[in-house]
Chain A
Amino acid sequence: DTGVSQDPRHKITKRGQNVTFRCDPISEHNRLYWYRQTLGQGPEFLTYFQNEAQLEKSRLLSDRFSAERPKGSFSTLEIQRTEQGDSAMYLCASSPTLTGRTDTQYFGPGTRLTVL
């Protein structure tokens, strides 16, 4: 059983550019989460999907951020008009709904974004 994968692992961009990250959850995991983690802090919740439905979004998720999970499998997180304050590690996690440890989230390796 492969784990959660994220692509790319690192992204350097200039301020004002758009970036898109991809997350592939563990197969058959219905739930998918995006987090942002800045240096010295714990992960901060951004958004949650159950299958293809985005059911919850944090106030942290400004209008420049959008996330999709079109077929209930992989997900993308797009940041438009990036700002230096967007520099962070973006973590994706998934968890099962019907079987296994339904309360536990399994994290991917993250995408480290640097905005110059």
Chain B
Amino acid sequence: AQKITQTQPGMFVQEKEAVTLDCTYDTSDPSYGLFWYKQPSSGEMIFLIYQGSYDQQNATEGRYSLNFQKARKSANLVISASQLGDSAMYFCAMREGLGNQFYFGTGTSLTVIP
């Protein structure tokens, strides 16, 4: 089974609008971390936001927030007030327990329309 599933290959959003990128995960370990990365066309992976499995509140970092629904095993990324520079690939990732291996999804390509 896939550890990380991103079901939206591509998404479009109007500039200044909010957009939600979906991510579901699969683990039996009670301790895990969830991450979102942005990969522009230049190729470099840019860390956006982190959520720990024991965190009580949803993580927020500026315009990024993570909608963490533990029972549903989902960790959706919400980008508010989209900007043209947000156009990129977005990857959800997970680390299980104390393991050193990170599992990435297949990504969602976001295009912001002016």
CB closest chain-A residue, reference B109 = A40
Give A50 to B99 CA distance when docked, in angstroms: 12
Partner-contacting stretch, out of A15-23, A66-74, A105-113: A105-113
Is there contact, CB below 8 Å, between A93 and B52?
A: no
A44 within 8 A of B: yes
Given the interface pairs A43-B91, A104-B50, the reply to whether A110 lies near B43 with Cβ below 8 Å is yes
**Choice from A44, A105, A109 contacting B44 with Cβ under 8 Å:** A109
Against A, the Cβ 8 Å flags (1 = close, 0 = not) of B17-43 are: 000000000000000010101000011
Is there contact, CB below 8 Å, between B106 and A31?
A: no
Size of B's binding interface in residues, CB under 8 A: 23
Give A41 to B50 CA distance when docked, in angstroms: 21
Against B, the Cβ 8 Å flags (1 = close, 0 = not) of A92-116 are: 0100000001011111111010000
B102 within 8 A of A: yes
B101 within 8 A of A: yes
CB closest chain-A residue, reference B102 = A45
Is there contact, CB below 8 Å, between A43 and B45?
A: yes
**Choice from A43, A104, A108 contacting B47 with Cβ under 8 Å:** A104
In the A-B complex, the 4 residue pairs with the smallest Cβ-Cβ separation, listed nearest first, are A42-B104, A107-B45, A48-B100, A109-B44
